[in-house]
């Protein structure tokens, strides 16, 4: 103890100098599992978590019910009218579906499997304010695994980054470490969507000759990653030509307002690549591979 | 009957405060879309603990808070430990040179330590080649930086008063021990 008192601060200064060097020179990313210390801290914090869950959930319910009651009459009238319109449209779409099925049979298309999902509530967000992740109340016990896709009513939300018994952390598409394979809905041109430290996302590595215009809708490609094809991701808001005069910077505004997402669906379908690795190499081999990958990927 | 000493109660209260700060930040503040509500309570707590508490206790609390923050965050492994260690060292070094009880010096030191977090994040984004434009980044972090610096002064005062309560209790414990012996 005396040694610590005498040399403790000097040792601390040494650690504070060496640590950043080690951190920035190594390929560390976020682990999928919590360490022993973190699990202990998490267990200790369960009562606080429970109280926060209860209070925030109740407060949100209270606000929502007040907001719902305001103008409920007008909304009921509007919904009634919309319902009538949708019934007619549905009848028309049934005919289109039958026609679609006939054409699929003719072209020998493989029918897409029905998606299974679990719905969950969003409890909290990343406290760093710059990295973007959310915590949902569904975890391993509900069949959720890292790498699964999360969608909300307005579109794609993100990918499950880590799971524990009853919760899972989801890396949002706007996080600077997120990647997603996407296409432009208008012309089916493929590219990569990356999160950024701002609010939006960047559409990069577009096919050569891709003509992207402001207002274009970006959807998931379904070619790689856990998302099925055609889920709305966002809209192009700004296109800038880089100083090199060759590449362009395409900014995409997310379809989902992440600050207001309170419920989302976790698609119980993991990434296709992960499935192949799991089948060929087994779970242990896959775990080692996942731990060795430097960047977390959504696509 | 189990009678806790003042320092034991103090340790428990500080741990509970750390929990509350992290959970309040994760459950309420970070869910707001406005940057003006992004008060970094946890860093204020860490800076306070670094300056006002004994080194060993401060290190233990910092490890605890770093583990708690990492549990919630998508930041790379070790990021919070690195940042809080640097905050601990810098605030201790500065406290030896500048009188941190002056308002102007408090604001200066706090804003420098809060800014350090964003510098470290910028560096970690640079590492994965996702570095944003500097101006966009500065505009993004400015509200959080300003509001955290402004909030740190009264919060520092509240924490200081709370510690004062435990000092008084410790003195009373000590007197009682003397009487009993």
Of the ranges A210-224, B7-21, B37-51, B96-110, which one carries the lowest mean pLDDT score?
B96-110
Using 50, 70 and 90 to split pLDDT, how confident is the model at A34? Answer: confident
B69 close contact with A: CB closer than 8 A? yes
B40 close contact with A: CB closer than 8 A? yes
Compare all CA atoms of chain B with the CA of A31 and give the residue at the minimum distance: B77
A31 close contact with B: CB closer than 8 A? yes
Identify the pLDDT of residue B34.
85
The verdict on a CB contact (< 8 Å) between B140 and A12 is: no
Angle among Cα B90, B95, B97 to the nearest 5 degrees reads: 100
Identify the pLDDT of residue B22.
92
Ranges assigned E (strand) in chain A:
117-125, 133-136, 149-152, 155-164, 167-172, 179-184, 190-195, 201-204, 217-220, 232-241, 248-254, 263-267
- The per-residue pLDDT of chain B, averaged, comes to 85
What's the rounded mean pLDDT across residues A47-74? Answer: 81
Buried b (16+ CB within 10 A) or exposed e, A137-161: ebbeebebbbbbbbbbeebbbbbbb
Task: Say yes or no to pLDDT of B74 above 70.
Answer: yes
- The per-residue pLDDT of chain A, averaged, comes to 80
Which ipTM value was assigned to this complex? 0.82
Task: Say yes or no to pLDDT of A298 above 50.
Answer: no
Task: Say yes or no to pLDDT of A192 above 60.
Answer: yes
Helix (H) or strand (E) run with residue B18 in it: helix B6-24
Using 50, 70 and 90 to split pLDDT, how confident is the model at B43? Answer: very high
For residue A53, the distance in angstroms to the closest alpha carbon of chain B comes to 8
Q: How many CB atoms lie within 10 A of CB B126?
A: 12
Compare all CA atoms of chain A with the CA of B91 and give the residue at the minimum distance: A13
Could you report the per-residue pLDDT of A226-260, keeping only the tens digit for each?
A: 888 888 999 999 888 777 777 778 899 999 988 88
- The phi and psi torsions of A80 (rounded to 5 degrees) equal -65, -45
Could you report the per-residue pLDDT of B79-119, keeping only the tens digit for each?
A: 999 999 999 999 888 887 776 667 787 788 888 888 998 88
Q: For the CA atoms of B116, B120, B125, B131, what is the dihedral angle to 10 degrees? A: 40
Q: Where are the domains of chain B?
A: 8-180
What's the rounded mean pLDDT across residues A264-283? Answer: 68
The verdict on a CB contact (< 8 Å) between B26 and A34 is: no
Q: How far is Cα A295 from Cα B149, in angstroms, rounded to an integer?
A: 32
Task: Say yes or no to pLDDT of A111 above 60.
Answer: no
Using 50, 70 and 90 to split pLDDT, how confident is the model at B2? Answer: low
CATH 1.10.1760 corresponds to the domain B8-180: yes
Compare all CA atoms of chain A with the CA of B54 and give the residue at the minimum distance: A5
Q: How far is Cα B125 from Cα B128, in angstroms, rounded to an integer?
A: 5
Identify the pLDDT of residue A235.
93
Q: Find all residues with CB under 8 Å of A48, minimum gap 6, and list them.
A: B16, B19, B20, B23
Which of B30, B78, B89 faces A16 most closely, judged by CB atoms? B89
Q: How far is Cα B133 from Cα A155, in angstroms, rounded to an integer?
A: 27
Residue labelled with tokens 């524990």: A164
For residue A176, the distance in angstroms to the closest alpha carbon of chain B comes to 6
Identify the pLDDT of residue A297.
42
Compare all CA atoms of chain B with the CA of A172 and give the residue at the minimum distance: B74
Identify the pLDDT of residue B75.
86
Sort out which chain B residues have CB atoms less than 8 A from A50's CB and list them.
none
Could you report the per-residue pLDDT of A69-88, keeping only the tens digit for each?
A: 777 888 888 888 888 888 88
Q: How far is Cα A191 from Cα A180, in angstroms, rounded to an integer?
A: 9
Please name every residue paired with A79 in a beta bridge, in sequence order, or none if there are none. none
Q: Answer for the pair B47, A14: CB distance below 8 angstroms, yes or no.
A: no
Task: Say yes or no to pLDDT of B78 above 70.
Answer: yes
DSSP 8-state code for residue A192: E
Identify the pLDDT of residue B93.
86
Give me B41's structure tokens.
């309570």
Task: Say yes or no to pLDDT of A198 above 90.
Answer: no
Identify the pLDDT of residue A41.
83
Q: Answer for the pair A194, B130: CB distance below 8 angstroms, yes or no.
A: yes
Q: How far is Cα B29 from Cα B17, in angstroms, rounded to an integer?
A: 16
A267 closest CA partner among A149, A141, A144, A122? A149
């Amino acid at each position: 103890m005396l040694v610590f008192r005498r040399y403790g601060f000097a040792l601390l200064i040494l650690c504070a100098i060496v640590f950043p060097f080690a951190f920035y020179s190594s390929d560390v990313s976020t682990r999928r599992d919590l360490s022993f210390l973190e699990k202990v801290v998490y267990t200790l914090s369960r009562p606080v978590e429970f109280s926060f869950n209860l209070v925030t959930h109740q407060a949100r319910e209270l606000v929502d019910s007040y907001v719902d009651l305001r103008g409920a009459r007008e909304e009921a009238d509007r919904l009634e009218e919309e319902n009538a319109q949708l019934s007619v449209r549905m009848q028309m779409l049934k005919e289109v579906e039958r026609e679609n099925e006939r054409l699929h049979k003719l072209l020998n298309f493989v029918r897409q499997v029905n998606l299974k999902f679990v719905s969950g509530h969003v409890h909290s967000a990343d406290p760093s304010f710059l990295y973007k992740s959310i915590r949902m109340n569904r975890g391993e016990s509900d069949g959720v695994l890292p790498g699964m896709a999360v969608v909300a009513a307005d579109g794609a939300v993100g990918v499950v980054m880590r799971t524990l018994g009853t919760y899972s952390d989801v890396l949002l598409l706007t996080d600077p470490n997120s990647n997603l394979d996407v296409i432009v809905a208008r012309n089916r041109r493929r590219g990569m969507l990356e999160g950024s430290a701002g609010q939006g996302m960047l559409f990069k590595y577009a096919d050569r000759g891709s003509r992207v215009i402001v207002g274009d809708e970006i959807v998931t490609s379904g070619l790689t990653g856990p998302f099925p094809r055609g889920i709305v991701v966002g809209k192009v808001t700004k296109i800038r030509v880089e100083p090199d005069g060759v590449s362009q910077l395409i900014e995409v505004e997310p379809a989902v307002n992440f600050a207001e997402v309170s419920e989302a669906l976790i698609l119980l379908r993991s990434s296709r690549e992960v499935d192949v690795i799991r089948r060929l190499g087994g779970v242990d081999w896959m775990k080692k591979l996942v731990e060795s990958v430097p960047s977390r990927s959504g696509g | 009957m189990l009678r806790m000493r003042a320092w034991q109660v103090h340790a428990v209260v500080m741990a509970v405060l750390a929990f509350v700060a992290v959970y309040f930040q994760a459950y309420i503040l970070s869910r707001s879309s406005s940057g003006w509500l992004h008060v970094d309570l946890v860093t204020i707590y860490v800076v306070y603990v670094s300056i006002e508490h004994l080194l060993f206790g401060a290190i233990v609390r910092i490890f605890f808070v770093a583990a708690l923050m990492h549990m919630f965050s998508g930041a790379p492994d070790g990021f919070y430990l690195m940042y809080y260690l640097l905050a601990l060292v810098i605030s201790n070094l500065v406290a030896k040179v500048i009188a941190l009880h002056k308002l102007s010096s408090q604001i200066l030191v706090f804003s420098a330590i809060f800014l350090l977090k964003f510098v470290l994040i910028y560096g970690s984004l640079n590492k994965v080649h996702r570095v944003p434009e500097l101006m966009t980044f500065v505009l993004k972090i400015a509200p959080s930086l300003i509001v955290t610096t402004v909030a740190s002064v009264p919060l520092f005062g509240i924490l200081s008063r709370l510690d004062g309560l435990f000092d008084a209790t410790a003195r009373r414990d000590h007197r009682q021990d003397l009487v009993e012996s």
